[in-house]
Structure 1
Amino acid sequence: MLTDRFGRAIEYLRLSVTDRCDLRCSYCLPKGFKGFEEPAQWLTFDEIERVASAFSRLGVQRLRLTGGEPLLRRGLSELAGRLSALPGLADLSLSTNATQLEKHAAALRRAGVSRLNVSLDSLRRDCVAQLTGSDSLPKALAGLAAAKDAGFDRIKINMVPVAGVNDGDIEAMAEFCIEHGFILRLIEAMPMGDSGRRTRGSELAPILERLSRRFGLEALCRNLGGGPARYWGSPDGRFTLGLITPISQHFCASCNRLRMSVDGTLYLCLGQEQSYPLRPLLRAGCSDAELEAAIRAAIELKPEKHDFNEAPAKLMRFMSQTGG
């Protein structure tokens, strides 16, 4: 098992397959952004599989495919099938905005993707267009319907409450999740890049109180995936709510994950700059032993915590550049 300097076991890797996205969510990417990696700098599927295999040998049991929007990468189901066959892998999941999901849901499920996280910030078409820069709600809903039909083990709806924009839509989203058997997760906006710093996120504690009164929520002990969310559930088991609170109640002490960007850079913390480039090693023909040694060296760079509260202007890169 990989363990960092602070005794945290690293067993979760998030793999970005593209930094491109077909949306421009106000808290993620600014309109007109063009600073994307050139495709020649992207890791190939063979290179991604090789990195994932190395992590698997070192004890990582969970992989998540992310972006940008990962379904913009051609042949993603093929890659998913290769990764799901890795020895020791317990969980392969995908983060998506669902605009392309209707076309790919069945193939992804056949390839071994078991869980989905879908970013959806409102059920109002005008609100979604305002937040994403695109009239994308019909495509997202069609994608969710296809995913439900495909039989994924668990589908989570990730919603970022933005003050004065969609924070009044949370109850409607909760009812939607109850109707379809989805899990609702509320995520605090993070100050990543200029767009993230301009977003005035809503406080989640009052929202939790509001939803607890309406649905009779009680804290749940079980973990629903390898991430940092804390969960509450209704007594009848029909509604599950997760909160991800990197700002108000950070979870750095239990952080179990790394991110790899599309160009093969390992990011050791979402809110810090420490990184380790793997692409030069891969393209220089490194051995498996050299690759594993590089991963262990990267783990030693993992910081104790982020500085989102202390230095919100510190981080210049956008979320899509890091990998979700």
Structure 2
Amino acid sequence: MFDKYGREIDYIRISVTDRCNLRCLYCMPEEGVSMVSHEEILSYDEIVTLAEVFASLGIRKIKLTGGEPLVRRDLPWLVKKLKVLPGIEKVTLTTNGLFLKEALGELGEAGIDGINLSLDTLNPEVFAEITRRRGLDKVLEGFYEALKYPEIPLKINCVPLGREDQEVLEIAELARHYPVHVRYIEMMPIGLGRQFRSVGEEELLKQLREKYGTPSPCQEKLGNGPAHYYSFPGFFGKIGFISALSHKFCGSCNRVRLTSQGFLKTCLQYETGTDLRKLLREGASQETLKRAVEQAIRDKPQSHRFGEKDTGEVETHMMSQIGG
């Protein structure tokens, strides 16, 4: 599938729920958001049906997201169903890790191809402030359990908030001591994220260089998306950056998102896309669904315009509602 700017779209992030067991400062208000009813959320069978359509059009990689995907029951069943679809090469998962330890066995049996663990600090008190919940010990239990499955690549996602007590360089220690990749993700000005300073890649690289020495750019591709990586002396894993603001990568964007309510979203900044749930529940044929997806992909915006004065219509939903 190609959009009108010649970008090949082969990666989709599928949200399975808008619910989450954390209340991270940049993602959700302390009191949470109004959750939609279960009837409004795509069923697993509906997700599989749409995934068949996506695969037939050239989607090769699927990332399951939320909210927190592991709060939804029987997620390994969905992984297993997606894994056997013709054309699907990878099914991966992003999680906050609270339920990871218990889920890993079944996820491994289902054939999960990779796990991204969101972890913004190793300080228990700061973790409780950022997430408005306690549970760093549970997340770390999940991390150490995941290390027992070397066939499942593990990445750590950290969003720097510009606060010193977050001690984001401590997260890099995980890549120094273990065979995991740590990625620093710039804060996106979506929802509550607009309230925080985006810590740029150069700022972090300077700190990392001062502490660990001169890095070497990594040429190999280590994932589905836009992260680029560096090797640091003595590290088992790599340090990566997803820098949508300071290193805009829209020209090579290969992704779209499917929200938990079945809206195919083609750019994080805008509310453009198409309502596939409506078509699906009205009994649309596979051909009709294909045409709707193809049209949405063709109309994918050329780029985001975060930071510009006139950005046009922008996304009004929280990140938990969009699908991360």
| Common fold by TM > 0.5 | yes
Matched, 1:50 2:49: yes
Q: Distance in 2 between matches of 1:187 and 1:56?
A: 28
Structure 2 stretches lacking a partner, 5+ long: none
Moved more, 118-127 or 173-182: 173-182
| Offset, 1:235 | 4.5
Is residue 212 of structure 1 aligned with residue 230 of structure 2?
no
| Aligned AA (1:212) | R
| 1:320 alignment partner in structure 2 | 320
TM-score by length of 2: 0.95
Q: In the alignment, what sits opposite 1:151?
A: 150
How does 1:276-287 map onto structure 2 within 5 Å?
276-287=274-285
Q: 1:119: Cα distance to partner?
A: 0.4
**Superposition deviation, residue 210 in structure 1:** 2.2
Q: SS at 1:56's partner residue?
A: helix
Please report how far the alpha carbon of residue 199 of structure 1 lies from its aligned counterpart in structure 2 after TM superposition: 1.5
User: Distance between the aligned counterparts of 2:51 and 2:242, measured in 1?
Assistant: 26
- What letter is aligned with 1:290? T
Q: State the AA in 1 paired with 2:206.
A: E
Q: Secondary structure of 1:88's partner? A: coil
2:242 aligns to what?
A: 244
- CA drift of 1:250 comes to 1.0
Give the secondary-structure state (helix, strand or coil) at the position aligned to 1:4.
coil
Q: Which residue of 1 aligns with 2:10?
A: 11
Instruction: Read off the aligned partner of 1:197 and give its amino acid letter.
Output: R
The secondary structure found in structure 2 opposite 1:149 is: coil
Q: How many residues align?
A: 321
| Equivalence map 1:129-208=2 (5 Å) | 129-167=128-166, 169-193=167-191, 195-208=192-205
Which ranges in structure 1 are unaligned for 5 or more consecutive residues? none
Q: 1:22 offset after TM fit, Å? A: 0.5
Structural RMSD (CA):
1.5
CA separation in 2, counterparts of 1:320 and 1:238? 32
SS at match of 2:306: coil
Per-residue deviation, residues 154-185 of structure 1 (Å, max 9, x unmatched): 11110011112455x22221112322221110
Q: TM-score scaled to structure 1, two decimals? A: 0.95
1:40-79 aligned within 5 A: 40-79=39-78
Q: CA deviation at 1:236?
A: 4.8
1:19·1:321 contact (CA, 8 Å) conserved in 2?
yes
Counterpart CA distance in 2 for 1:315 and 1:298 is: 16
SS where residue 128 of structure 1 aligns?
Answer: helix
Percent identical pairs in the alignment equals 38
Give the Å deviation of 1:38: 1.2
Indicate the SS of the match to 2:70: helix
